Structure 1
Amino acid sequence: MTGTETLERPETADKVEHFDVIIVGAGISGIGSAYHLQEQCPDKSFLVLEKFDSFGGTWHMHKYPGVRSDSDLFTFGYRFKPWMSAPIATADEILKYMGEVIDDNDLAPHIRYSHKIEHAAWSSKDKKWTVDVVRLDTGEKRRFTTNFLWMCQGYYNQEQGYTPEWDGMDKYKGQIVHPQTWPEDLDYKGKKVVLIGSGATAATVVPAMADDTEHLTMVQRSPTYFFPGQNANELADLLRAVEVDPMIIHDIVRRVALFQQQEINRRSVEEPEIVKQELLEGVRAFVGPDFDMDKHLTPKYRPWQQRLAFVPDGDLFKCITDGKVSIETDTIECFTETGLKLSSGKEIEADIIITATGFNLSVLGNIPFEVDGKPVNWPETVTYRGMMFTGVPNLLWVFGYFRASWTLRVDLLGDYVCRLLKHMDEMGVKQVTPTIPDSLSDMKVGNWIQEEDFNPNYLVRSMHVMPKAGNHPDWQHTQDYWREKDEIPALDLDTEALVYS
């Protein structure tokens, strides 16, 4: 969308409801943000708009076998609610945890389900956002206004995953399935299955399906770094056994986990070859000395240039050594009527082909936004601290971490938004707009993330739709939780980067 187009607003009902804050999304970010707002700004009215028919976001929509976290729940869980189970959790366990947060804090009355935003417009004259919504369950049009939009809808297109176009896909007579849109009635028992992909989704789906298939072949263009480990936390288990208060356990174990993560992040940059060998040795302990590690399990990039995939209890590798799963590292020449043909010439038969090939990145839910009648073109904006954007007033996007748990930033930004709202009330102002100050008028502006630092395919192929970043810390998303945990609480709300009116 260009900056010269005009947006046609959808028809709406006559009734308009106003809230001080509207939170978009009832996933892990939205529920956490609602908690912080209610606790820290109890005088603010707020509403959570969710397009699905229940809370949970990712954990509600994903239905593929074995769906689980790839971050430990001591850091992926909220700082304010202890996690009481194993570090790596299933979707059902995470949904139960989130449901308890909603129930314990009486958040349910603030959530409207099946409400999809069709358009959002800011008026500097009225100092308000107007949000047009359609109810997906009834088709009814609704309109809301708000002083502040808190965007918590995630960062990928939830309707459609990413599947490359291969020659011959139309000739294939079997079933092609993307994990993001998994059919509830998919029968793979006794079937030959091929899964294309090598990331965290593949590491989850493969061991969950392996026992029921005739055979499962994982086809990967290149390997991923895997981090096998026991799905238990000995420190947490010990502290529970001696009946330490759960909140104290949560805080201690969380701090230890974050310290350990910080160390592996640091070492991945400072001593990548040593970390690489340590990771490979961890995998070799499961697959044995005769497995072709160089070909199938040794990535070409350095550790943490893409996300490390945790494999609890080595379940993926046990499937390989048991002979239930095999790996083919090659490119795909084409689909055939009965399966795949690889560039090496090898053909693989498959009744079902699963494309665990990633997702399509979505910027702020692909919602059409406008400011004072002009459409917002996100690549023309520059991000303030990876959360707000030049020229877009009273809006914050929760975008978490790649190298640490997403939810850590939910807590940090929850504190920040509440502090900002209180500051605006104290100043008697109604609008705050990120603006590059004159002192940085010559700042170099580039991509949201530098590829040499972090380069997963979903991000690289979508960089052109993302907001830009500058080469100054205020104007980039550093992705460094260990800096931000101290920097964000200390950010000066009267900085020249924020213009109030």
Structure 2
Amino acid sequence: MARDDPQTDHVDVIIVGAGISGVDAAYRLKTLSKGKSWLILEARDRIGGTWDLFRYPGVRSDSDIFTLGFPFRPWPSDQAIVEGAAIRDYVEDTAHEFGIFEQIRFGHRVVGASWSSEEGRWTVEAEHQGQTRRLTCTFLFSCGGYYDYEAGYRPEWPGEKEFGGQIVHPQAWPEELDYSGKEVAVIGSGATAVTLVPSLAEKATHVTMVQRSPTYIVSRPARDRIAGVLQRILPRKAAHSAIRWKNVLLTIYMYSRARKRPERAAAFIKNMIRKELPEDYPVDRDFTPQYKPWDQRLCLVPDGDLFASMRSGKVSIATGAVERFTKDGLRLESGEDVAADIIITATGLVVKLFGGIALKVDGKPVTPGERLIYKGMMLSGVPNFFLSFGYTNASWTLRSDVTARAVCKILNHMARRGFDVCTPREPKEGMERIPVISFSSGYVQRALPSLPKQGNRQPWLVPQNYVKDRLAMRFVPVDADLEFSRNATAVRA
């Protein structure tokens, strides 16, 4: 897709990001809105997004691959929980198979995008090889995820300079790091920590997971036996669809039960953990969170690998806030000392909506925190702009694909009616503003002021339910609370 003069490039749709969401969006545009021209701008030099960025030991999905993967390209085995490198390869193979890879411009970091109502188009600024390139498009589709790729969340503790070992954040994992025969402390208890700990334990002398407070941890088989049976008896696509819907409906059911009866769900999870550990293990101390199930995302451990590492004696848990680093490790506020040669700060992500792209509409900066989110995919008052944002209680790709389909529906509607611009308009009677994510997790709470808000009724309410979203996409009118125009100058944000 290279052009002699990239300064003058214009396409109907620019997709930002070549991860799962971006490739899915491209496939839907290619198959459902065939008359539209498009390209993908990717800041990195490889495809895959999250699954190319994270390189720490054991990195894997915390959702099953049958729902995390593409609905149009079946996963070929019954392996449900998959390593990051395999997911990245799957994304790249999909892009090649469907003619998407050739439409990606790598090394193009989008830093700004400005909408002109007079011209009826976006001007996108991308940094490439030390230069700023400008491309234009009629529609801008942000598929760059929700967190900062440059750095993770990294609090500082007293005494760090005294520590005699190495401090590493998983998001910037050094390939040359040798932890063989070392004492390792992992600060954190989220998805990254529970993934890292059993993987590090394979080579390290001992690994201590240092958690300020416990997290809900659930063991799940790495292989899906039902998927294996369905793959043997059904055609490939039919099997994939059946497995996908089985997992979708099961997830919705389990989430609903947990929210309706949180005490019972918490007790069920704790009893599962008791069966994984010795009878005298203090489960209440290390595995009793201070919040209800799904107030934060549950952590998944395939085949109970974390608990197996604990039973082997190579992994232990220290519960309590870190007071300071010491020369030989770290000390908790309780006075407990944890020895370590290497300390891993698995302390979370930094939320960075749109990958940090500075949006402007007719010269005025767009502040996402002041906007309402429309159908989970557009911002009030921002014309011809779409964003892909996944579920908090299910696989990210489920919501991304719903969004991509809905975008194509809008584009096709506009093409049939001869419209140039679509803009979500907040109802005149006003609306209650609610946080778009209800999680109590630290990374969410830190980001809430910068995130758009949802409303208390459709189409401004974002249901965390794939079935409801699919039904709404099919049966809710495409023009609900959307303002369409044939004259670009008539739309002012």
Q: Within 5 Å, which residues of 2 pair with 1:6-17? A: 15-17=7-9
CA distance in 2, matches of 1:279, 1:446: 30
Please say if 1:106 is aligned against 2:91: no
- 3-state SS of 2:193 partner: helix
Please say if 1:472 is aligned against 2:457: yes
Q: Within 5 Å, which residues of 2 pair with 1:481-500? A: 481-500=466-485
Deviations 1:24-62 (A, max 9, x none): 000010011101110111211101000000100000010
Return the match for 1:157 from 148, 155, 158: 148
Please say if 1:116 is aligned against 2:102: no
CA distance in 1, matches of 2:231, 2:70: 19
Shift of 1:486: 1.2
Quickly say closer, same or farther: Cα 1:192–1:150, change in 2 above 3 A: same
Aligned to 2:444: 459
Aligned to 1:414: 404
Please say if 1:182 is aligned against 2:176: no
Aligned to 1:5: none
Aligned to 1:358: 348
Please say if 1:46 is aligned against 2:38: yes
RMSD of aligned residue pairs (Cα, Å): 1.4
Q: Within 5 Å, which residues of 2 pair with 1:62-461? A: 62-85=54-77, 86-135=79-128, 138-242=129-233, 244-438=234-428, 441-450=429-438, 454-461=439-446
Shift of 1:498: 3.5
Quickly say closer, same or farther: Cα 1:331–1:46, change in 2 above 3 A: same
Q: Any gaps of 5 or more consecutive residues in structure 2?
A: 487-493
- 3-state SS of 2:149 partner: strand
Deviations 1:70-101 (A, max 9, x none): 00011111111111220000112112211221
- After alignment, is 471-480 or 155-164 more displaced? 471-480
CA distance in 2, matches of 1:314, 1:113: 38
The answer to whether the 8 A contact 1:70-1:310 is kept is yes
- 3-state SS of 1:358 partner: coil
- 3-state SS of 2:161 partner: coil
- 3-state SS of 1:479 partner: coil
CA distance in 2, matches of 1:465, 1:169: 30
Please say if 1:60 is aligned against 2:52: yes
The answer to whether the 8 A contact 1:432-1:498 is kept is yes
Deviations 1:312-331 (A, max 9, x none): 11101100010001100111
CA distance in 2, matches of 1:209, 1:496: 51
Aligned to 1:37: 29
Q: TM-score, normalised by structure 1?
A: 0.93
Shift of 1:172: 2.1
CA distance in 2, matches of 1:235, 1:467: 40
The answer to whether the 8 A contact 2:231-2:240 is kept is no
Shift of 1:448: 2.3
CA distance in 2, matches of 1:38, 1:14: 22
Q: Any gaps of 5 or more consecutive residues in structure 1?
A: 1-12
The answer to whether the 8 A contact 2:92-2:101 is kept is no
CA distance in 1, matches of 2:115, 2:477: 25
Deviations 1:374-421 (A, max 9, x none): 111111111112211111110111000010110001211111011100
Percent of paired sites with the same residue: 43
Deviations 1:140-174 (A, max 9, x none): 33110000001000000011000112222233222
CA distance in 2, matches of 1:344, 1:189: 29
CA distance in 2, matches of 1:33, 1:496: 23
The answer to whether the 8 A contact 1:437-1:497 is kept is no
Shift of 1:457: 1.3
Aligned to 1:20: 12
The answer to whether the 8 A contact 2:16-2:141 is kept is yes
CA distance in 2, matches of 1:400, 1:52: 21
CA distance in 2, matches of 1:380, 1:500: 24
1:445 corresponds to which letter in structure 2? R
2:30 corresponds to which letter in structure 1? Q
CA distance in 2, matches of 1:485, 1:455: 27
The count of residues paired between Structure 1 and Structure 2 equals 481
Shift of 1:499: 4.3
CA distance in 2, matches of 1:332, 1:313: 30
CA distance in 2, matches of 1:269, 1:497: 33
The answer to whether the 8 A contact 1:412-1:489 is kept is no
CA distance in 1, matches of 2:422, 2:477: 14
CA distance in 1, matches of 2:265, 2:434: 30
CA distance in 1, matches of 2:249, 2:218: 17
- 3-state SS of 2:230 partner: helix
2:44 corresponds to which letter in structure 1? F
